[in-house]
Structure 1
């Protein structure tokens, strides 16, 4: 059960997040645990709330074509070491990692076109492409012209 204090939800023990082959998954962590008074209030709370993952080190997400975000609102993972993403063409945000005075930047294995579609909050909040080490692998790179998702017959 997550610990909660105002608009901060903390998942203190999660070290690895590994999800594969869920074509219908849009979000991993939602704000279902927050009391929502109205749709506008829900949007406001989600935009200001932060989910903290103080021990999260690895994220592996594979073949999740509908995934839009890992966490509704902002996600903070200061110990994150690596992110491996393949087939997550709808993903628009990575967790914020902050500036690191010790240790290497978080390595992100991702398709180049997915990396270029990511949205960033800025260096001042620890969420900027310069804080990550992007690694583009030809092995996983999607060929142009291939369909994304499933085809119904």
Structure 2
């Protein structure tokens, strides 16, 4: 069964997306997937027998919402490529640790190179969206002497909201030359923004002023490639907070 659309919702008793090899349920052909309101799901896509399936998935759009027990979207042993993924949205998954682990088989040419929209909100335990496995981290950070960048060449929109433990999007420097909009709120552990290149384009970044002031830059010129946009209520709210100290 080669389904193209997969929508799982309000499933009260499953803890993962069912995979029945004997019946031919093969999710690598799915192009649009939405999983929501499944209170017992702990890992959306489990580990698969590597020899049974091709390593290339056709997924283009993925949406996960209100999965209170989910720790992973894709398991750490999920050796699959998502070269066609263009739209990724995750919200209200408070126990989520990571989204998609990156492996040594995922080169710059095929690792999320078509991703246009990345939106993750209200995932309190998330530390890293795309963590690298130890072999890939060794390849990038130890075996190579020159700095290495992971290229998200198609990424246009980045929205991160209320991810207090998020430290990075991926484990190495990100290049996003086509980035257009950035909205980041409540991500106080995130210290860096992606590299947007050396052109004349300036990317607007909607964020808190305190967070912007604490950002760290690998290249000082990158700060001028962003235009911080702070809420018009920022000064008013700040004044109100200063004048309403609890005793």
- TM-score of the superposition, structure 2-length normalised? 0.48
Runs of 4+ in 1 over 6 A off after TM superposition: none
1:34–1:106 CA distance, 2 compared to 1 (3 A): farther
SS in 1 for 2:211: helix
- Find the structure with the greater CA-based Rg: 2
Q: Which residue of 163, 166, 177 corresponds with 1:64?
A: 163
Distance 1:10 1:93 in 2: 20
Distance 2:143 2:233 in 1: 40
The reply to whether residue 44 of structure 1 matches residue 142 of structure 2 is: yes
Distance 1:75 1:138 in 2: 30
Contact 1:22 1:64 in 2 (8 A): yes
Deviation of the 1:99 alpha carbon? 1.8
- Structure 1: 5+ residue stretches without partners: 146-153
The corresponding residue for 2:230 is 136
- Structure 2: 5+ residue stretches without partners: 1-80, 84-105, 243-247
Deviations 1:70-109 (A, max 9, x none): 12110000000011001111110100001224xx411100
Aligned length: 135
The reply to whether residue 22 of structure 1 matches residue 123 of structure 2 is: yes
Distance 1:9 1:116 in 2: 34
**Higher RCO (C-alpha 8 Å, min separation 6):** 1
SS in 2 for 1:129: helix
SS in 2 for 1:48: coil
Distance 1:21 1:15 in 2: 20
